[in-house]
Structure 1
Amino acid sequence: MLRLSALYRYPLKSGKGEPLQQIGLDRLGVDGDRRWMLVDEASGRFLTQRAVAKMSQLSALWNSTGGLTLSSPGHTALDVALPGDDGLRGVTIWRDTLRVPDAGDAAAAWVSAFIGKPTRLVHMPLERARFTESGYGQDDDQVGFADGYPLLLIGQASLDDLCARIGRPMQMLRFRPNLVIEGAEAFAEDGWKRLRIGDVEFRVVKPCSRCILTTIDPQTGERSPDREPFATLEAYRKTEKGAMFGQNLVNDGIGRLEIGMPVTVLE
C-alpha cells in the first residue's frame, strides 16, 4: 500500500527545511511553504543556496503572531512581524518580476549580517502569487516563491535506488520535497498523472530538474567534493531538460495531510 511517509515545509526559500507530522494545504500548496524570500537589496534578485550555500543553516520558522522567527548559530534570534502592503519592494525570481511586501529594516539588518551584504527579506501574500510556467498544468495554477510549482513529491524507493548507486546514504532533505511516498517501486512517480491523499487530489505536472544545490549537506552547509548526488543523477537520470528526480505537483483543493495517510494513484 502506498502511504505518505514524510512531510516538509520550507518557510523561507532556500532556508532550513521543517519536518512536519501534519499540515494544511492552501491554494499555493503546503501552508506557509516558501512564502518568504531573501533578495539582493540593490537588484531585488532572489538569493538561494546555489550562490549562498550557508543559507542551508538559516532557520526561519512561523511564529505565533503569523510572522517569522529567524535564527542561526552565532546570531541572536529575531521575530519578524507579518508585513502589510504599505512597503512593497520590486523583486525578481527567475523570469518573474513582481512587487511584494518588505519585512522592514530590522529584518533587513539581520539577514544582511548573516549573508554578508545588503539584503532584504520579503513576503508573498496569497493575493500576490505568481503563475506557474506556461505549457504545464493549467493556466490559473499559482505558486509562491518556490522555483516553479507548489509541491514536490519524491518516492522513498527512488532515493534508496540513488543511494545504492552512490554507495552511501543521502538525506532526503538534499532534494527539498514536500511529500515523500513509500510503498511504490523506484521512480514509479514518473508515471503518475493524478493521485489522492486524504481528501485532496493532486495533479502531477512536470518532472523536477535537479541542480548543484543537491550537493549541499543540509546539516553542515558544505558541498560534496565529489559532486554527489548530482553526479550520479546526471549519469542515469539525465534528459535533454536536465537530471530529473521527483515530480512537481499542483493540489486541486485545500485540506489537511498527515503522515501515514494512504495514497491512491488515480491515473
Structure 2
Amino acid sequence: MSYNVFDQGSPAAVFAAVAAGAAMKYMAGFLFPRDRYAYVGRIGQIWVYPIKSFRGHSVQEAECTHLGMKWKDFTDRHWTVATANGVYLTQRQEPTMALITPTIIGDQIQLTAPDMEPITFPADPPVTESNKSKVTVKADTVDSVDLGDKVADWLCRYFNRTGLRLHYSAPALEKRDASKCKKPWTHPAKPGDLCAFSDYCAYMVLSNASLTDLNKRLENPVPITNFRANIVVDDCQAYAEDSWSSLQIGDAQLRALDACTRCVLVTVDQEKGIKNKKEEPLSTLKKYRLKDPYGPKPCFGINFTLDKPGKIRVGDPIYAKLR
C-alpha cells in the first residue's frame, strides 16, 4: 500500500499543512510588507452569476474584468429579466428565478427549469435597431439587447405572468457607473467603476468563516449560495473581510467600496426557490450585523470593484491592504 505524507488526517499531513501555511505567510510578509499588503486567506470558491437572480456556476478559475467575473462566454450579471415596463426582476419578487440554470452550448445559451422544455438563444447577438431596448436597474436606465419573443414567451409561461423580456448588456452598449449610485451614506466608488446589471458593483467578497459564525446562530444553517458572492474566502477569521481595503490575487487587484447590505433575497432557498417564512437568515443578521452608517439593513460581505484585471483560481492566495 502506497503512503502519501499528504494523506488527510496523518500526523505528517498536519505538519505539512502547518509548514505550508507558515511558509506562505512568511513569503507574504517578504513580498508584501505589512504597511502595504499581507496574506489574509485563499480562494475557496469562485461563482459566476450570468443572468441576474438565476442559478450561478461554481468554477475553478475565471477572469476578473472591469465589468465583472468572466468564465467562458459568461460575464457576471450581463443578462436580466425585466417586466413589461422595463424594470429589472429579481428573486425578491420571484424566488423561483433561483431554479433556472443558464448553460453555454457553443455560441448559444440554454435555459433549463423545472417542468419546462429547455430553450436556447444567441450568447452574443449583434446590436440592431430592431432589438435595441431599455432596461432599468435601480435608478439607472441603460440600453440593452432584447433577446426576442421566443425566450420572452418561455419566461412568461414559467412565471405565469405577462410582459417579461430578457435583456443583454452587449459589449458595445453603455454600462452602469457605481460612482453615480445614490446611497444614504457616502461611498467611495470612482467614475469608471462599471458593471452591467449588478445592483451596485462588479464583485462581492465573503468569507466561509463569516458564514460559519452566522450558521452557529441559526436553527437551520444556510449555504453560501444564499448570498451570491463572487469570491468566497477560506483561511481567515470571521468578518476579516470587513477590514480589507484592497485585494491582490495573482495579477488581479480589487478595491473595496462598502459593505454589502442584505435584503429579503438572502431568505430564498436556492435549491427550492421559496422564501423562508421566518425571514431567516435575514432576521438573525439584523440582530448582530447592523453597522453605521448602513441603517436598518445588516452587513454581510463586501462590495468590490476592479483596478487591474487578471485570472484567478480556486486555491490562490489572497493578499490585502487593511483599512
Q: Does residue 237 of the first structure (1) align with residue 289 of the second (2)?
A: yes
Q: Does residue 15 of the first structure (1) align with residue 60 of the second (2)?
A: no
CA distance in 1, matches of 2:105, 2:190: 33
CA distance in 2, matches of 1:101, 1:152: 25
Of 76, 88, 106, the residue aligned with 2:150 is 106
TM-score (norm 1): 0.95
CA distance in 2, matches of 1:63, 1:233: 39
Partner of 2:101: 59
CA distance in 1, matches of 2:94, 2:287: 26
Partner of 1:35: 78
Give the secondary structure class of the aligned counterpart of 2:126. coil
Partner of 2:273: 221
Which consecutive aligned stretches of 4+ in structure 1 deviate over 6 angstroms post-superposition? none
CA distance in 1, matches of 2:240, 2:81: 35
1:71–1:77 contact (8 Å) kept in structure 2: yes
Partner of 1:141: 193
CA distance in 2, matches of 1:63, 1:197: 30
Between stretches 133-142 and 159-168, larger displacement belongs to 133-142
Paired positions, count: 265
Of 107, 117, 128, the residue aligned with 1:76 is 117
Q: What is the identity, as a one-letter code, of the residue corresponding to 1:249?
A: F
- Deviation of the 1:110 alpha carbon: 1.2
Please say which structure displays the higher CA radius of gyration: 2
CA distance in 2, matches of 1:95, 1:11: 21
Give the secondary structure class of the aligned counterpart of 1:75. coil
- Deviation of the 1:62 alpha carbon: 2.9
CA distance in 1, matches of 2:310, 2:219: 39
Of 61, 64, 68, the residue aligned with 1:25 is 64
Give the secondary structure class of the aligned counterpart of 1:114. helix
1:151–1:178 contact (8 Å) kept in structure 2: yes
CA distance in 1, matches of 2:208, 2:282: 17
Query: 1:136-160, CA deviations, whole angstroms, 9 ceiling, x for partnerless residues?
Result: 2211110111110100000111000
CA distance in 2, matches of 1:113, 1:168: 33
Query: 1:29-67, CA deviations, whole angstroms, 9 ceiling, x for partnerless residues?
Result: 2011111000012x00111000011111111223320x4
Structural mapping, 1:171-210, within 5 Å: 171-210=223-262
Give the secondary structure class of the aligned counterpart of 1:185. coil
Give the secondary structure class of the aligned counterpart of 2:266. helix
CA distance in 2, matches of 1:52, 1:133: 29
Query: 1:61-116, CA deviations, whole angstroms, 9 ceiling, x for partnerless residues?
Result: 23320x42111011111111132211111111110011211111111111111122
Give the secondary structure class of the aligned counterpart of 1:205. strand
- Deviation of the 1:166 alpha carbon: 1.2
- Deviation of the 1:129 alpha carbon: 1.3
1:105/1:9 CA distance change after superposition, 3 Å = same
Between stretches 175-184 and 238-247, larger displacement belongs to 238-247
Partner of 1:116: 160
Structure 1: gaps spanning 5 or more residues: none
1:208–1:248 contact (8 Å) kept in structure 2: yes
Partner of 2:210: 158
1:133–1:148 contact (8 Å) kept in structure 2: no
Q: What is the identity, as a one-letter code, of the residue corresponding to 1:181?
A: V
CA distance in 1, matches of 2:308, 2:105: 25
| Identical aligned residues as a percent | 29
